């Protein structure tokens, strides 16, 4: 036989629900008040701007972000960012970290890089800068992130490193001069010291 709650227990539960409702209203108001400041940045081209609530759901995204991801606005607003826009292997870990961040269990990270997944299945690497959104009491209720696509830059850097490795493993000495008066040397392969006893700085 189920035990019926006492009047005092019911009254306490009602108070808890009222407190939870009030906290949710305060969080929503904090997000609403922050949006005028947020929107002034949204027209910046070449940068993704996305705002998330404390569950990681998308509350705001700019036109460039929509174009980058390949979605219409109505397809993303209210959807969970991590479950919708991150590759499957990253979703759970990043969402767990986000929940810890919202609870204040870990310190926020101002900058990081991670892949996002476009609607067409293409992955891109984004460099993010983050700003916490807080309610009037100072509680974290969301996050505003600006992101720059660095996929091509990282590929270029990788190719350059590979090219330098090939050059430095080669038995031939490689020089690069600037085409200006005096022909100053801009680059010399590392094997110059082994072959001639000079360092690149010499």
Cβ 37 vs Cβ 53: under 8 Å: no
Query: Do 111 and 166 belong to one domain?
Result: no
Is residue 201 included in any domain, yes or no?
Answer: no
Regarding whether 123 and 161 lie in a shared domain, the answer is no
Whether residue 29 is found in the same domain as residue 100: yes
pLDDT digits (tens, 9 = 90+) for 112-154: 899 999 999 999 999 999 999 888 888 888 999 999 999 888 7
202 domain-assigned = no
Same domain flag for 138 and 159: no
**Total-model pTM:** 0.63
Task: Give the H or E element holding residue 166.
Answer: helix 151-169
Residue 74 lies inside a defined structural domain of this protein:
yes
Q: Is 19 inside a domain boundary?
A: yes
Q: Is 120 helix (H, G, I), strand (E, B) or coil?
A: coil
The torsion defined by the Cα of 133, 137, 98 and 121, in degrees rounded to 10, comes to -30
Residue 2 within a domain: no
Shared domain check, 145 and 159: no
- What CATH number is attached to the domain comprising 79? 3.30.450.20
Structural domain for 158, as ranges: 154-196
Assess whether 180 and 93 both reside in one domain.
Answer: no
Residue 15 in domain: yes
Residue 116 inside a domain? The answer is yes
- The pLDDT, as a whole number, for residue 19 is 75
**How sure is the predictor about 41, in pLDDT bands with cuts at 50, 70 and 90?**
low
Number of domains observed in the structure of the chain:
2
Around 106, how many Cα atoms within 13 Å sit in the side-chain half-sphere? 10
Q: Are residues 174 and 101 in the same domain?
A: no
- The string of pLDDT tens digits covering residues 56-106 is 999 999 999 999 999 999 999 999 999 999 999 999 999 999 999 999 899
Q: Are residues 23 and 83 in the same domain?
A: yes
Residue 135 resides in a domain:
yes
What is the structure's pLDDT at 134? 86
């Amino acid at each position: 036989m189920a035990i019926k709650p006492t009047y005092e227990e019911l009254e306490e539960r009602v108070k808890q629900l009222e407190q939870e409702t009030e906290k949710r209203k305060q969080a929503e108001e904090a997000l609403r008040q922050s949006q005028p400041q947020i929107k002034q940045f949204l027209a910046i081209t070449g940068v993704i701007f996305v705002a998330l609530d404390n569950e990681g759901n998308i509350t705001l995204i700019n036109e460039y972000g929509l174009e980058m991801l390949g979605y219409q606005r109505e397809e993303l607003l209210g959807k969970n960012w991590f479950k919708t826009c991150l590759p499957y292997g990253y979703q759970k870990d990043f969402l767990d970290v986000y929940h810890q961040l919202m609870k204040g269990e870990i310190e926020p990270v101002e900058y990081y890089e991670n892949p996002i997944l476009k609607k067409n299945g293409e992955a891109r690497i984004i460099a993010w800068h983050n700003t916490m959104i807080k309610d009037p009491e100072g509680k974290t209720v969301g996050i505003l992130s600006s992101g720059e696509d660095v996929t091509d830059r990282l590929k270029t850097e990788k190719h350059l490193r590979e090219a330098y490795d090939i050059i430095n493993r080669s038995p031939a000495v490689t020089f690069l001069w600037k085409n200006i008066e005096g022909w100053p040397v801009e680059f010399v392969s590392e094997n110059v010291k082994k072959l001639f006893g000079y360092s690149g700085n010499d």
